[in-house]
Structure 1
Amino acid sequence: MDFEKFRRTGELSDITVIVDKTEFKLHKFPLFTKSNYFKKAIASTSAPYIIRLDNNFPGGAEVFNQLADYFYSIPIAIDRKNIVPLRSAACFIECDTLSTLLDKHFDEIILDARTKYDLTIPLLLLEQCTGEYQIWAKQTHMIDKCLECIIELLNFDVGLQMNKFDREVIVRLPLEWIVELIKLCPTESKRCILPLVKHYVTMHVLEQNQLQQITSLSSRKSEGEHYSAFTPVTKIEDIPVTTADEKRTIIDEVVRILGDAFKQLSLVWLNSIYEKAVELKCQSEPTLLSYITQAMLDSTDQDDGIENIPDDVMTRLLEHVNKHKEDHINDPHLLAKLSTLIDSYVEQLRQRGTLTSEQFVKLASCIPKEQRNSYDSLLLALDDLLKNEKSIQLSNAERDELLSQVDFSRVNEETIVACKNNKLIPQQLITDAALALCVKLRKQLEQTRNRLHIVESELAKSRMTYTSSSKFRSRNLNSSFRLPSRFRTTYTNTYDLPDSSLTYSYSKYNHEADFDYALPSRYLSSSSSSRYGSSYTYRY
């Protein structure tokens, strides 16, 4: 029987369902057989049957209209745009047959996204799971399936090719799903999720002027290239309004969940987030500072890691490190790397001619004097700084402060030669540096002599020693190696004399056996015997 006619006309209707003030004239039998929700509702009421679906029904009257068609076995269209509302509504009315059908379609869509390496598909589905569908999408595991698909695609570096639509969707996702994505990502693969996390935090936390600064730096590094996943392209007006408390929560949660992978992000971006964390008084401020310090130290291993950092940003970064330098004094390895970084940065400023006296003092004071590797870079930078015309305007106190940053007893010969003619550097300091260098070289020479003496003593112990007497002269080797003892080889022949009961035996020296001891038989190719004795042929 064709039930579509009764569905369209409402003929012989015996139940009314009201959804958002819209009445649906239906019949008990199809609802009773396909929905446990209506089965319970009909059993708990009496005729005339009027059932009102509360405001929590997902999708409203439009979605229920499709469900009503399904109850009457009328085919309904299922695609990526309506599968989440339909699945949520099917869960609400407890329609198991429709739920199974929709789950199958949903899995096929996710499989298609994996096959095509298309990040847009799971992001589109995930965005539909927000709002009124979020509770039901979580209950039906649609959110979990989307998140797992996104992580799998990000592991194939699909995140580096995100388009504008993908970035806009990411910004609209709730923080809890971003946190869940980070948790799902394996520790060894945290790098793959950094583009997504960075874009989300950038658009929600940073102000417009900070966005412009980061964008300009990114475009400077990749001029003429396509947008990377680290370049924000979402319009400011499209970003949901984020309060100060929400920004604070975003920073703290992302830093806590992402862990050490956070320091793999760019140094300029880390500094912007850190300054925002200081402004918002985030709990993650000390952790961010440690990540910045580590990122700075790691940047020394790159060819142009420091050159891309603006001078004002680098100065602020080093100021942050200087505030907490007491935390790093107990780590000599960290101090050594930090000293190398600062010296490299000072050298860059010196070569560009942009080093100021204020910067010099701040940079030099980041490392305690007694724990710095060397002072050659600082002294060369100070020499150029004092030769500058502006340095003439410095007061004696300011000049003394600059000179006090350098330990002249820890510079090499080339540095002394380069700075000896600078009249603004007191000659007494140059003299002290030369004397300290002499003392250092004298100590090195003495240490070299001591090492040579030890080596000669060891060699003397292994040399041969001789002892003489009136009868002979013997040679002794001071060695534990001894040649094996050589024994003469003899054979015994026993025979009986005729007409006698006596038996005689004698021993004869075996020359051939003894010869074989001196020259093993493997070097003898053949032998022959004659009445004149035995002869041998040797092989080489």
Structure 2
Amino acid sequence: MKYGFLSPIHDKAPMGKGSLHKGNANGVKHSKCIIFPPKVSMVAESLERRNQNWIVRAKVANDLIIQVGDSIFQLHKLPMVSRSGYLNRLVFQRICIRDKNTVSTIQIDNFPGGAEIFELVVKFCYGWKVDLTAANIAPAYCAAYFLEMSDDLEQGNLISKAETFLSFILLTSWKEIFQIFKSCETIASWAKKLQVLKRCSEAIAWKASMDPKTFTAGDDDSLGYNAQSNNAKNSQHSCIAENWWFEDVSFLRIDHFLEVIESTKRKGVRSELVGSCIAHWTEKWISQIPFGQHNQPTHQLLKVTAESLIKVLPAEKNSVSCNFLLHLLKLGIMMRIEFELLNKLEQRIALMLEQCSASDLLVRNYGNTDTVYDVRIITRVVESYVSSVLNNPAPRIYVVGRLVDEYLTMIAKDEKLPIKHFQLLAEALPKDARYCDDNLYRAIDMYLKAHPKLTEEERTSVCKAMDYHKLSEEARQHAMKNERLPLYISMRLALLEQVNMTKSSTNNRSNYRRTKTQTIIRISKGLDKGCMTPQKELTMMKKEVENMKVQLNALQKCKIQLQRQIKGCTI
């Protein structure tokens, strides 16, 4: 028996508020396929519904009852078993056990699409018109396979009809692919088993891998890109950005999104584009999370989602930004994901620090009572970096030292930033990670200015990471006059300044005397070589050495005296 098949048609209908793509204009085309058999094995008058009961009225009494969930369908064996191998087998088993004239009752659990899709199947079996759309094609396709409605029973059975229409949508309509994804949420296991999700993902990946410059004016609906919006009716499609597909994909739930990402990787989409898409999806997803208000099932979902996102990240270098990875690391720490996965992500970020800017390290905290930025996570990454270069120090560690100091400067004004967090990050790098401590001094000064109520001990601990010997002359002069610094540091700087001045004066006098002596010797030798005996030369050199010893002793006494003054002040 041959079935009639009307080619898929398009109905013009505006997208409603529930549209996947909010920027769509009215007049979007929707595919619909109408199928019905020209000849049927039984003529049915009507299909009546009473609450949860469906009854097919015909001249022959009903002899088949099928229960789908809470719904009951009173049907006839002949039209149903002639097109369903599954029902044929079950009915035959019951006929062999019972009298063939009795009514057969079949209960179907976990039917794809539920009673609504089974009603569609009943209409198809009885020869009534059936409308297939993007919203019901996936469950109808799965239901047809569940019921084994293949062409082996009837040519043009439901499997082949659904397959034809599904393939048509995947090839021609971008937006309706996302409707198929949405309809698969209630039939996830069947959609995965029959590779409906994979086929939808591959269709998206195929279009995402295309060069936007090759798009023509007739591709608007296929691309999900409204080229006529924002008064750009006549704009060239060559201006379409490579990330035109991000927004539509961002509405997919995590399992469907992962399917799309894996497909784009297989299709050869650039790793930077794949990484940006993951970041876009994650940013939208995180903004919808009510942190601190979720229960245990929600926490588990968030944990699995975070782990899945980390696993699907492109392995290529610079495929994702450091800032995004830091946010992902923070999420992983909050959700307590697998340690190995967390450690792997942490090391990946650490290796990116040498190419980062200070603004890349800004990771906002979610709570209102916490600091503005998460400093502990940066400390953790910096410590990981130091561990990785400890045995083989890289010359670019100075770059990370400057990066950390710039970051400290940016966060120093936060009044809620605890001393411990500031100090741990400042001390996370080894002493030789900085050529000069001017930037660190600037960050410390800004922190002290933003926290004027700190005690002398607390201010001393803040300054602990700074090596005042590495300050420039300009910074040292500023620090000596800085009343915000603890007295201990001020006295140290004063001592250093006095020592330097004394050393400079001593060097000048020594150089002068040495030069004068050498000049006299040279002149004396030039005028009369016999006037200066070796004994006289030796005596003169001894006197010069004695003078230098006296000056050094005076310098040592000065240093001891200043140190005593410092101890007296600290006591």
Regarding TM over 0.5, the answer is yes
| Cα drift, residue 4 of structure 1 | 8.4
**Preserved contact between residue 419 and residue 462 of structure 2 (Cα < 8 Å):** yes
- Could you tell me which residue of structure 2 aligns to residue 34 of structure 1? 83
- Could you tell me which residue of structure 1 aligns to residue 67 of structure 2? 19
Counterpart residue type for residue 59 of structure 2: E
Query: 1:240 and 1:353 mapped to 2: Cα distance?
Result: 32
The reply on whether 1:252 has 2:289 as its aligned counterpart is: no
SS of match in other structure, 1:129: helix
The reply on whether 1:321 has 2:376 as its aligned counterpart is: no
**Preserved contact between residue 402 and residue 439 of structure 2 (Cα < 8 Å):** no
SS of match in other structure, 1:74: coil
- Could you tell me which residue of structure 2 aligns to residue 273 of structure 1? 331
Task: Flag the 1:323–1:73 CA change in 2: closer, same or farther, 3 A.
Answer: same
- Partner of residue 185 from structure 1, selected from 264, 284, 290: 264
Query: 2:504 and 2:475 mapped to 1: Cα distance?
Result: 11
Normalising to structure 2: TM-score of the pair? 0.56
Task: Flag the 1:112–1:290 CA change in 2: closer, same or farther, 3 A.
Answer: same
Query: 1:252 and 1:56 mapped to 2: Cα distance?
Result: 30
- Could you tell me which residue of structure 1 aligns to residue 239 of structure 2? none
SS of match in other structure, 1:332: coil
Query: 2:246 and 2:280 mapped to 1: Cα distance?
Result: 9
| Cα drift, residue 383 of structure 1 | 5.8
- Partner of residue 496 from structure 2, selected from 406, 429, 452: 429
| Cα drift, residue 251 of structure 1 | 2.2
Task: Flag the 1:91–1:437 CA change in 2: closer, same or farther, 3 A.
Answer: farther
- Could you tell me which residue of structure 2 aligns to residue 108 of structure 1? 168
The reply on whether 1:194 has 2:272 as its aligned counterpart is: no
- Could you tell me which residue of structure 1 aligns to residue 25 of structure 2? none
SS of match in other structure, 1:91: helix
| Cα drift, residue 107 of structure 1 | 1.7
**Preserved contact between residue 299 and residue 305 of structure 1 (Cα < 8 Å):** yes
**Preserved contact between residue 32 and residue 38 of structure 1 (Cα < 8 Å):** yes
**Preserved contact between residue 123 and residue 150 of structure 1 (Cα < 8 Å):** no
Query: 2:185 and 2:282 mapped to 1: Cα distance?
Result: 21
The reply on whether 1:7 has 2:38 as its aligned counterpart is: no
- Partner of residue 408 from structure 1, selected from 468, 471, 493: 468
Q: How does 1:478-517 map to 2 (within 5 A)?
A: none
| Cα drift, residue 273 of structure 1 | 0.9
| Cα drift, residue 105 of structure 1 | 0.8
SS of match in other structure, 1:185: helix
- Could you tell me which residue of structure 2 aligns to residue 464 of structure 1? none
- Partner of residue 344 from structure 2, selected from 272, 283, 287: 287
Query: 1:27 and 1:359 mapped to 2: Cα distance?
Result: 75
Counterpart residue type for residue 87 of structure 1: Y
**Preserved contact between residue 138 and residue 144 of structure 1 (Cα < 8 Å):** yes
Task: Flag the 1:3–1:405 CA change in 2: closer, same or farther, 3 A.
Answer: closer
Counterpart residue type for residue 92 of structure 1: F
Give ranges in structure 2 of 5+ residues lacking alignment.
1-37, 46-56, 151-156, 210-241, 366-370, 506-571
- Could you tell me which residue of structure 1 aligns to residue 424 of structure 2? 362
| Cα drift, residue 91 of structure 1 | 0.7
| Cα drift, residue 100 of structure 1 | 1.3
**Preserved contact between residue 16 and residue 25 of structure 1 (Cα < 8 Å):** yes
| Cα drift, residue 84 of structure 1 | 2.0
- Could you tell me which residue of structure 2 aligns to residue 89 of structure 1? 143
**Preserved contact between residue 17 and residue 50 of structure 1 (Cα < 8 Å):** yes
Q: How does 1:123-522 map to 2 (within 5 A)?
A: 123-131=178-186, 133-152=187-206, 156-162=242-248, 170=252, 173=253, 175-186=254-265, 188=271, 189-195=273-279, 197-199=281-283, 202=286, 206-208=289-291, 242-258=297-313, 260=315, 261=319, 263-266=321-324, 269-270=327-328, 272-278=330-336, 283-293=340-350, 298-300=355-357, 305=360, 312-321=372-381, 324=384, 326-330=386-390, 331-332=393-394, 335-348=397-410, 361-382=423-444, 390=452, 394-395=455-456, 397-398=457-458, 400-422=460-482, 424=487, 425-426=490-491, 427-430=494-497
SS of match in other structure, 2:86: helix
| Cα drift, residue 161 of structure 1 | 3.2
Aligned residues: 390
Query: 2:466 and 2:190 mapped to 1: Cα distance?
Result: 67
Give deviations 1:178-224, integer Å, cap 9, x for gaps: 443333332624224314541575268x5446xxxxxxxxxxxxxxx
Query: 2:502 and 2:364 mapped to 1: Cα distance?
Result: 39
Give deviations 1:420-466, integer Å, cap 9, x for gaps: 5557523123456789999xxxxxxxxxxxxxxxxxxxxxxxxxxxx
Task: Flag the 1:433–1:183 CA change in 2: closer, same or farther, 3 A.
Answer: farther
Query: 1:275 and 1:252 mapped to 2: Cα distance?
Result: 11
SS of match in other structure, 2:436: coil
| Cα drift, residue 104 of structure 1 | 1.3
SS of match in other structure, 1:284: helix
Q: Which has the higher contact order (CA 8 A, sep 6+)?
A: 2
| Cα drift, residue 313 of structure 1 | 1.4
Task: Flag the 1:73–1:324 CA change in 2: closer, same or farther, 3 A.
Answer: same
- Could you tell me which residue of structure 2 aligns to residue 502 of structure 1? none
Query: 1:434 and 1:360 mapped to 2: Cα distance?
Result: 34
